[in-house]
Structure formats: structure tokens, C-alpha cells
Structure 1
Amino acid sequence: MAEIAAEWWLKWIFGLIGGGLIFVVRLLWRRQRATELGIQALLRDRILKAYYHYQERGTITLHGLENVDKLYEQYHNLGGNGTVTKLVHDLREMEVVDG
């Protein structure tokens, strides 16, 4: 009888531990994904602001172009693409000036 009770308790405890681990992993995965999507949205916003700024000026600085390229690289690594790719390509085609 004691063996049956001990076996039942062990199954119950391991079930709780396993369920808890699954819950924590899912929670961490959702938070990680939300963080990645949030960072991607911020990078997209920053690239858009740079695009409109330099389009209004008609030229882009070397540092501005380098900054946009670095932003875009990470944006792309996080899965971003589409319209922003076209905007970055347009920025790369602009005349580069100092200051």
C-alpha cells in the first residue's frame, strides 16, 4: 500500500514539475517573441524617420547612411522586409555629402 501511495505521489509531483516547466518555457517564448517584434517595430520606425528626413533634405550624410545600414541589418535579421527594404535601397542611391 505504501509503495502505491509513494508511486502516486511521485507521478503527481513530476507531473506538476513538468507542467510548470512547460508553462515557464511557453511564457518565456511569448515574451521573447514580443520583445523581438517590439524591437523590429522600433527599428522600422527609426528607418522610416531617417528616410523622410533625408528625402526632405535631398542628400544623406555618410554617418546617416551607415546608421541606416546598421538599423536595417538588424531589422532584416529580425525578419523585417518589404517596404523598408525599398526605402533603404532609395537611401543608398541618394547623394552622400559631408555634414
Structure 2
Amino acid sequence: MEQVFISVMSTVAVGLLAWIARKMRALVRTNDAQQDGIRTLLRNELVRLHRDLVEAQGWCTLEDKEYAERTYIAYHELGGNGTGTVLYENIMALPIKDNG
């Protein structure tokens, strides 16, 4: 009887571990997709800031720079680099003017 109990418990444990592994893989895929999506949105925000501030306006406020910096830091922490870095550096090179 003890042997049957051990066999059943082993089978249950293996099944439970397999289920946990499947759930973990699904969570990792979901997390990766969410990070990719957020990184894309942050890059798009850097593109918009660059277009509005660098290309159209030629200056920015201190608040604009602070927002660009927060956006870039989050973008970079999610693995973004390359063109986002160039956009950020161009924004940070702008002269600061008071909006009022």
C-alpha cells in the first residue's frame, strides 16, 4: 500500500511540476511581449518629442528635458538603445527657454 501511495504522489508531483513549468513559460512570454510593447511606446514618445522639440521648435523647457530624461531612462532600462539614444541626446542638446 505504501508503494502505491508513493507512486501516486510521485505522479502527482511530476504533473504539478510540469503544469507549473508551462505556466511559467507562458508568463515569461507575456512579460517579454509587454516589455517589447512598452519599449516601443517609449521609443515612439522619444520620436514625438524629437519631432516637436528638435525639428519644429528648436528649444525646450526644463520640464520637456525632465520628461525626455524619464522617458529615455525607462526606455533604456527595458533594453532600448540605438536610435532612441540619438533622439534623447538631440533633445538634451537643445537650449532651454521658459515657456511663459
AA at the equivalent of 2:91: L
Residue segments in structure 1 that go unaligned for 5+ positions in a row: none
Q: CA deviation at 1:70?
A: 0.6
1:1-99 superposed matches below 5 A = 2-54=1-53, 55-99=55-99
AA at the equivalent of 2:35: E
In 1, Cα distance between equivalents of 2:41 and 2:83:
15
In 1, Cα distance between equivalents of 2:87 and 2:12:
55
Q: CA deviation at 1:6?
A: 2.1
Q: What is the SS of the residue equivalent to 2:88?
A: helix
Q: CA deviation at 1:8?
A: 2.2
AA at the equivalent of 1:46: E
Q: How many residues align?
A: 98
In 1, Cα distance between equivalents of 2:94 and 2:2:
78
In 2, Cα distance between equivalents of 1:26 and 1:77:
22
AA at the equivalent of 1:13: V
Identity, % of aligned pairs? 27
Q: CA deviation at 1:36?
A: 1.1
Choose between structure 1 and 2: higher strand proportion.
1
Instruction: State TM-score, norm by structure 2.
Output: 0.90
In 1, Cα distance between equivalents of 2:64 and 2:85:
16
**RMSD in angstroms over aligned alpha carbons?**
1.1
